[in-house]
Amino acid sequence: MTPKLLRRAVEALSTFNVETPSWGFADTGTRFGKFFQDAAAIDMNDKLADAGQVHAVTGCCPTVATHVLWDYTPGQDPKQVVKMARKHGIKLGAINPNLFQDQEYKWGSFGHNDAAVRERALQHCFDSVAIMKAVGSEYLSLWFADGTNYPGQASIRERKGHFEEALKTLHKKLGPNQTMLVEYKPFEPAFYATDIADWGMAYLLSKKAGPRAKVLVDTGHHYSAQNIEQIVAWLLDEDMLGGFHFNDRRYADDDLTLGSIDPYQIFRIFHEILFFAADRRKMPNIAYMVDQCHNEKAKVEAMIQTVVMAQELYAKAALVDHEALRKAQAKNSVIDAELLLKKAFFTDVSPALAAWRKSNQLPADPLVEHRRSGYERKAAADRKARRKAMGITRGGSFA
């Protein structure tokens, strides 16, 4: 790696942060069962401690995303949670309303045919905006499980209309520094017609809602052959890309560790972002977040592994020679253009990561440091004892 490239990669790393999800530290599983870990977080303080540990060893995860009904106790002053987060060296990031778990949402939330249920969902979002204000969060991150399971079940157009109306109403509640992110997902839990199934739908609804609504790209929410970086490039060009939920997939929304299946995919996404930024001479405002729940891997370790992978791929993408790429593209030199991407992708960026970590007084290897610290062992012992004292028994499966 030449000194010039090293500088470029280090510079890129110095502006790159990733938000971790509170739900990635608690017990999770599939609908066939859960495999429990002694070190899994029991409460919000544990989740924040885990997120704080990830930040302490990686230095690039200063915020944690929260899900309102999973993380805030009714009647609790959200500022208490801010204090708790501060104690663990982090801040609160995106606020995610829960619009999917209540029985009332059987037929949907914003898309429900009953105005009273839509109103209930909106009220929950207004409460979420109030939490955003209290904790100083910039992002309201919206994901809807809404959809139908059978042809003819509901009017697709009517549901679209309900979404347009509710999102517009919600947008009016946002403060000047608040953005709402609209996430799409092709299927699950709805298996016939998810109301916001793809980026086009999320784009259209966001556009109609107002200027502070942007699209959130969850990398796991695409069909197998879909070209995600092309979606990213289009959204960037339209100033409609708000953020990411990172994870990897082999089949559907697998929630696998970022880059475990296709690291080149994430590299190509980062390349589109950095190429865009170079052309516009301005870095777009994008919320990078992880959305993974690990069942087999130790949760904090998996999060560290994910974040380090994201940094590595971001640093590699920063090495693409944009000038040479523009020239190759102008001449239609297909091979040369492609090789420029490949060259950057295959460059060993560990010297840049080492230099960046050193200059930020961070451990040389976050995962090694985490293991050395004994955090996992201590958390497991403490949480196991607390579960026992609280009478929490875990086991069996759920369906």
Helix, strand, or coil here: 215?
A: strand
Taking the complex as a whole, the smallest distance from the CB of residue 183 to Mn ion amounts, in Å, to: 6
258 or 274: CB nearest ligand PSV:
258
Tell whether residue 19 is a contact of Mn ion (CB under 5 A). no
Pick what 253 binds: Mn ion, ligand PSV, none; C-beta below 5 to 8 Å, kind-dependent.
ligand PSV
What are residue 206's DSSP bridge partners?
Answer: none
246 or 275: CB nearest ligand PSV:
246
How far is residue 54's CA from residue 57's CA, in Å, rounded to a whole number? 6
Taking the complex as a whole, the smallest distance from the CB of residue 26 to Mn ion amounts, in Å, to: 16
- Work out the end-to-end distance of the chain between its first and last CA atoms, rounded to an integer number of angstroms: 52
71 or 291: CB nearest Mn ion:
291
Q: Which of 195, 248, 291, 301 binds Mn ion (CB under 5 A)?
A: 291
CA–CA distances in Å: residue 292 to residues 49, 91, 162, 207: 17, 19, 30, 28
Tell whether residue 46 is a contact of Mn ion (CB under 5 A). no
Pick what 185 binds: Mn ion, ligand PSV, none; C-beta below 5 to 8 Å, kind-dependent.
ligand PSV
8 or 265: CB nearest ligand PSV:
265
Six token digits for residue 296: 């087999």
Taking the complex as a whole, the smallest distance from the CB of residue 277 to Mn ion amounts, in Å, to: 24
Count residues contacting Mn ion (CB under 5 A)?
A: 3
- Contact between 99 and 109 under an 8 Å Cβ cutoff? The reply is yes
Tell whether residue 301 is a contact of Mn ion (CB under 5 A). no
Q: Which amino acid is at 359?
A: S
Give residues 236-255 in contact with Mn ion (rule: CB under 5 A).
245
- Contact between 294 and 24 under an 8 Å Cβ cutoff? The reply is yes
Tell whether residue 218 is a contact of Mn ion (CB under 5 A). yes
Segment contacting Mn ion (CB under 5 A): 214-222, 228-236, 323-331, 362-370? 214-222
Residues that bind ligand PSV (CB under 6 A): 23, 96, 143, 183, 185, 218, 245, 253, 291
Tell whether residue 50 is a contact of Mn ion (CB under 5 A). no
Taking the complex as a whole, the smallest distance from the CB of residue 83 to ligand PSV amounts, in Å, to: 25
CA–CA distances in Å: residue 203 to residues 108, 164, 207, 217: 20, 11, 6, 11
Pairing of strands 213-218, 179-183: parallel
9 or 205: CB nearest ligand PSV:
205
CA–CA distances in Å: residue 245 to residues 25, 159, 234, 329, 380: 16, 25, 18, 30, 28
